[in-house]
Amino acid sequence: MKIRTLSARTALLLLALGAPTSAAADTEGTSKTEATQKLEAKSLELRRELVQVTPRVFTAVGFSPGNVSVIVGKTGLVVVDTGMSPSHAKEVLDAFRTISSLPVEAIIYTHGHGDHTGGASAFAEGAKPQVWARSGLNAEGRAFASAGLTINQLRGARQGGFRLPDEKRINNGVALPFRPDHADPFGGEASGFVEPTHTFDEQRREIQVAGIEIHLVAAPGETSDGLYLWFPADRVVFTGDNFYRSWPNLYPIRGAPYRDVQAWAASIDRMLAENPEHVVPGHTRPLLGRDAAREALTAYRDAIHYVFDETIKGMNAGLSPDQLAHEIQVPAELRKHDFLAAYYGHPAWGVRSIFSGYLGWFDGNATNLFPLSPAGEARRIAQLVGGPDALRQAARQALAAGDAQWAAQLADHLLALDEASAAAMEIKADAFEVLAENLLTATGRNYYLTQADELRRAAKSQAGAVGTIHVDSAAPPQGRP
């Protein structure tokens, strides 16, 4: 794996430190990391297109972060998920209107996330379609709101890259880099949300609508309110977010309650048991054909099982989340599938989530029952290396040597000693930019780059410099059609 093309700032730093210059030989802009190239290539797959799945099933990919599908029934249309906003949904409806002029008779929400429910009003205009969901829709978003929790919105914006300028965004791993038109696209209810008119509690509800039969099947996984839709006549399964072409986001770094990993695998198993011929994911392009469908769902289920089983085994052996996150590696026969590459979720985050999902925050090592405060630890570390100046020098050396993670950790000690240290903020921002460019996982990459921008702004205001700031951290995300 290549280290990123060095910025002018880092190159100067290397020269100043007398570091070997071979690492700085790349010219700015001429070489991209493997991770950057692979993520850029993903954008092609995420392109906007109305994909025909069967003669009466179509999926709009790339019109909105989430897919919107339509089943053309005998008397009307069944719309599966609605995109993030009414403006996106209107464009999808226009595309559907090139296929059929039948009225929308039903809308199905596969789960309560805003990128799947926020466009509903556009499909409900001028008619009163049935709106179906499992009971308890968006329990996660409601729980955050009732706790008064708001930090999830800032973390969500970092994960989504919503505050980054366009040139720093590639895609979101499973979607093109849209910007939301409301503050909480993951949990909040957008203007276009329409309350369900029909909900169900049982495992499977078979309904007749628009002259066709569809099955709505409870499928907890990415969310507890998830369902998959089975259209038996055409043998199509609409998976919601329990499947997309990326390593599953078993834990979102914006923060979320435990996603039941075992239930997730079991939900995929139930989809497999339907023996589908086509798979329509919640994001990314449909998989067409029985072999592709079976191969993808089987490998996805097996990958989730693998991480779960290995984590539980390690936990029983007394290993900590830090150890397990480093030690558990997805086997090569699963890694060979591009739909299991870590574009969106990351296996290590899943491992940590399984640990804390079952055992909570305590890693089992009594050292960590009452650890030193961050400032207390930093004071001792600084003492050990010969004072804060030596610590700063060590952080810069780590950065110059390409050990960006260590540089970030040392910068955290410096900031624990002096939270206003502009030098430490700059070191940490430099480190995050290196880490970002070497990470395939778009959510983590966006998070690094957003925090790097936040640090640079803070450093600038500490240094009292006057400069233009391209994005105001207090401003809401910019809307975009």
- The site for Zn ion (CB under 5 A) is made up of 66, 113, 115, 241, 282
Cβ at position 174, least distance to Zn ion in Å: 7
The C-alpha R_g of the chain, in whole angstroms, comes to: 24
Residues 452, 411: contact at Cβ < 8 Å?
Answer: no
Measured from the CB atom, the residue of 132 and 355 that comes closer to Zn ion is 132
d(CA 471, CA 163): 7
E runs forming strands in 210-338: 212-218, 227-231, 236-240, 278-281, 287-288
Residue 245, SS3?
A: coil
Cβ at position 272, least distance to Zn ion in Å: 21
Measured from the CB atom, the residue of 238 and 355 that comes closer to Zn ion is 238
Residue 348, SS3?
A: helix
Strand partners, 131: 107
* Residue whose token pair is 């900590």: 320
d(CA 105, CA 48): 25
Angle between helices 422-437 and 442-463 (to 10 degrees): 160
Residues 6+ away with beta carbon under 8 Å from 143: 257
Joined tokens for residue 5: 């093309």
Cβ at position 105, least distance to Zn ion in Å: 24
Residues 6+ away with beta carbon under 8 Å from 42: 170, 171, 173, 343
Residues 6+ away with beta carbon under 8 Å from 88: 63, 64, 68, 119, 178
Q: DSSP string covering 184-237, please?
A: -TTTSPPTT----SEEE-SSEEEEEETTEEEEEEE--SSSTT-EEEEETTTTEE
d(CA 226, CA 138): 9
Residue 410, SS3?
A: helix
Measured from the CB atom, the residue of 115 and 181 that comes closer to Zn ion is 115
The alpha carbon dihedral of 407, 413, 419, 421 has a sign of negative
Farthest CA pair distance, the chain: 78
Measured from the CB atom, the residue of 5 and 67 that comes closer to Zn ion is 67
d(CA 9, CA 240): 44
Residue 322, SS3?
A: helix
In one-letter notation, the amino acid at residue 362 is F
* Cβ-proximal residue to Zn ion, closest one: 241
d(CA 57, CA 281): 13
Cβ at position 342, least distance to Zn ion in Å: 17
Measured from the CB atom, the residue of 241 and 453 that comes closer to Zn ion is 241
- How many CA atoms lie within 13 Å of 4's alpha carbon, on the beta-carbon side? 23
* Residue whose token pair is 């991480």: 307
Give the alpha-carbon dihedral of 410, 416, 417, 418, to 10 degrees. 110
